[in-house]
């Protein structure tokens, strides 16, 4: 995938969701949108020629307690719907995402549907799955 293709995908998704004048991905390679309670981020990886799309599950105030990340990974392995993404913890901002990476550009309607599925799953994970993992780890 080229950066121009990634830019086109991000712009098309943003335009279809109320941001027709968005740059899509900024010069530093980042972009995003908040739709209702869902937050979706785009990151262009130049070296890999890949577009990473991440839907926020939870932003931790501190480093996650032992067992939390493993609990989310266990949910993924158990087949909990990830909207086509994978569990992804970013230590630099202490945030947990469902992320999906593209190395080839899909058609815009497919990409838009993929992003909607990813965001829908992230909302389910931020409520139901988060509570289930916390109960298991902390014995709620």
pTM above 0.85, yes or no: yes
List the chain pLDDT tens, one digit each, 140 residues: 999 999 999 999 999 999 888 889 999 999 999 999 999 999 999 999 999 999 999 999 999 999 999 999 999 999 999 999 999 999 999 999 999 999 999 999 999 999 999 999 999 999 999 999 999 988 86
Which phi and psi angles does 118 have, rounded to 5°?
-65, -45
Check: CB of residue 118 under 8 Å from CB of residue 85: yes
Report which secondary-structure segment, H or E, holds 69. Answer: helix 68-77
CA dist list (Å): 104 to 30, 96, 125: 18, 25, 27
Q: State the pLDDT at residue 140.
A: 60
Kindly list the domain boundaries of the chain, sorted by start residue: 3-131
What is the fold of 3-131? Yope Regulator; Chain: A, (3.30.1460)
Is the Cβ–Cβ distance between 55 and 122 less than 8 Å? yes
Contact 55, 40 (CB under 8 A): yes
pLDDT tens, position by position, 47-73? 999 999 999 999 999 999 999 999 999
Q: What residue has token string 């992230």?
A: 122
């Amino acid at each position: 995938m080229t950066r121009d293709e990634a830019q086109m995908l991000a712009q098309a998704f943003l335009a279809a969701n109320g941001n027709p004048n968005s740059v899509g991905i900024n010069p530093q390679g980042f972009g995003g949108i908040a739709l209702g309670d869902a937050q979706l981020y785009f990151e262009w990886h130049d070296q890999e020629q890949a577009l990473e799309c991440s839907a926020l599950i939870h932003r931790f105030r501190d480093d996650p307690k032992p067992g939390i990340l493993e609990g989310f990974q266990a949910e993924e392995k158990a087949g909990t719907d990830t909207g086509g993404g994978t569990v992804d913890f970013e230590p630099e901002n202490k945030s947990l995402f469902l992320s999906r990476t593209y190395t080839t550009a899909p058609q815009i309607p497919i990409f838009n549907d993929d992003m909607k599925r990813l965001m829908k799953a992230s909302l389910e994970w931020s409520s139901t799955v988060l509570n289930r993992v916390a109960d298991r780890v902390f014995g709620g």
